[in-house]
Amino acid sequence: LLSMMAFDRYVAICNPLRYPVVMSKAAYVPMAAGSWAAGIMNSIVQTSQAIGLPFCGDNVINHFTCEILAVLKLACADISMNVISMVVANMIFLAIPVLFIFVSYVFILTTILRIPSAEGRRKAFSTCSAHLTVVVVFYGTILFMYGKPKSKDPLGADKQDLSDKLISLFYGVVTPMLNPIIYSLRNKDVKAAVKNLVAQKEFD
């Protein structure tokens, strides 16, 4: 979805006159549906592979949720196929979208720098600022989680387990909570309300 949004920003800034045609309902509905379908399919594959593994001994998941990496740590069998499928998923859902976003923003930045007026450049950049912030927060946390899918940690890795839990919590709870705040800050009314709130705090 974030890579599709990067494409939306690319069209809006680099080809503004064609935006209504390129980003029509016939285009963005399949794009969104395709993103959701791909995510659901990946979840089904990862879950079905994990369910087929044998689990022995202490089956208490050392995590807030049934996170796939935490579940794989409990398996007492070869999990090489799970790791391979996770690496493939990482390429599809992390590497390729990040590359797509990067290329989109190279074109966007090139176009913004060609705008003669400073006000025009500021407006064009403000169009992308919220999306860029969400991309950095989202992919920053998810790359820490899935960038290197190790299923077995060294013995006594309590700090590693705690770090995984906190990153997962940030990715699963904090990031979705930040999204509407980040995007709404571009709204003039919201900006005015925030400024008034800050001013009141300073006078209190």
Least confident range from 14-18, 50-54, 91-95, 170-174: namely 170-174
> What percent of the chain has pLDDT above 70?
85
Please give the pLDDT value at position 33: 94
If you average pLDDT over every residue of the chain, what do you get? 81
Q: How many domains does the chain have?
A: 1
Rounded Cα distance, 11 and 13, in Å: 6
Q: What are the residues whose beta carbons fall under 8 Å from the beta carbon of 74, sequence distance 6 or more?
A: 55, 57, 58, 59, 61
Helices (H), the chain: 2-14, 19-22, 25-51, 68-72, 80-90, 96-114, 118-146, 158-169, 175-184, 188-203
pLDDT tens figures, 156-203: 455 666 777 777 777 778 777 877 777 776 666 666 777 777 777 666
| pLDDT at position 160 | 63
Measured CA to CA, the distance from residue 96 to residue 148 in angstroms comes to 16
Start-to-end CA span in the chain (Å): 42
**Sequence-ordered list of residues with C-beta below 8 angstroms from that of 56, at least 6 positions apart, any chain:** 76
Angle of the 80-90 helix axis to the 25-51 helix axis, nearest 10: 170
The residue with greater pLDDT, 192 or 1, is: 1
What number is the average pLDDT over the span 135-154? 65
Q: What is the CATH number for 158? A: 1.20.1070.10
Select the more confidently predicted residue: 29 or 68: 29
Rg of the chain (C-alpha set) = 21
CA–CA separation, 73 and 189 (whole Å): 48
Domain of 21 in residue numbering reads as 2-203
DSSP track, 181-195: HHHHTTSHHHHHHHH
pLDDT for 151 = 46
pLDDT in tens, 63-110: 777 778 778 888 888 888 888 998 888 888 888 888 999 999 999 999
